[in-house]
Amino acid sequence: MASTRTGNRRTRVHVVSDVHGNARDLARAGDGADALICLGDLVLFLDYADHSRGIFPDLFGKENADRIVELRTARRFAEAREFGARLWGGIGTDRAAAIEKAVRRQYEELFAAFPAPTYATYGNVDMPQLWQEYARPGTTVLDGQRVEIGGWTFGFVGGGLRTPMRTPYEIGDEEYAAKIEAVGEVDVLCTHIPPEVPELVYDTVARRFERGSRALLDAIRRTRPRYALFGHVHQPLARRMRIGATECVNVGHFAGTGTPWALEW
């Protein structure tokens, strides 16, 4: 894979998001592309389609995973937190240490699967403090930053906004807006979460609205990038729409599809 355009040759990038432990397909995601872009959520904490997969069932078993999914899907978040607290209290170990150990195992495999070059930003379930330990030469981690690929400027903003789910990398609206502002005008705006548009933030399977960003929506309208690319919502009501001059695309739930979204120019 080459990171820049040579002569008149076209540039092709593949984009993935919501990898959630799918290292096997991630290792092939850059095939045929000049670069891979990853929009976060590498970690698989709990697979809502298969409750036997992820950190949570590894620690507490599938039956308890079934119960936590039932409570969260019903939006009974307080009960879900109480149930989770009882489980953690029963295993007699430090919660943060146990989660970090499991995340490190996943990161070791996932970062090894990234092709070169890869440009990546964080999702809301990621642990940013660990990424620099696992990012190998050829993998560039960006958050509130820009990079040029094939003559186009790409801006990256990672993480999610605060929710009752309390996932690891949720930040406040003002902090998120500041990162959007730092990126400025770009050809392609790459984020983990979508702009705050009902059709883009509603998950048809989970039957709930995920959090999108109003600051991101305002920036799209103001700076008019060619594309706004994102993930986060696994089964959105709309996978793409135009907002003014900008094509907004949910690049897909890579854990489920194993197929990257392709952009060529």
**pLDDT recorded at residue 7:** 57
**pLDDT recorded at residue 48:** 80
Cα separation, 56 vs 58, whole angstroms: 5
**pLDDT recorded at residue 174:** 98
**pLDDT recorded at residue 2:** 39
**pLDDT recorded at residue 3:** 41
Cα separation, 192 vs 1, whole angstroms: 24
The pLDDT tens digits for 109-126 are 999 999 999 999 999 999
Cα separation, 55 vs 38, whole angstroms: 21
Instruction: Return the bridge partners of 141, or none.
Output: 120
- What beta strand segments (E) does 55-150 contain? 118-120, 139-141, 145-149
Cα separation, 148 vs 262, whole angstroms: 17
Question: Global pTM?
Answer: 0.90
**pLDDT recorded at residue 83:** 92
Which residues, 6 or more positions from 166, have their beta carbon under 8 angstroms from its beta carbon?
A: 81
Q: Which residue has the tokens 């983990």?
A: 192
**pLDDT recorded at residue 75:** 83
**pLDDT recorded at residue 136:** 95
Beta strands 240-243; 246-250: pairing state: antiparallel
**pLDDT recorded at residue 4:** 46
**pLDDT recorded at residue 126:** 97
Residue 151 vs residues 4, 106, 188, 213, 265: alpha-carbon distances, Å? 8, 34, 11, 28, 10
Mean pLDDT by 10 residues, the chain (265 residues): 58 98 96 98 88 87 91 88 86 77 94 98 97 97 98 98 92 98 98 98 91 98 98 97 98 96 98
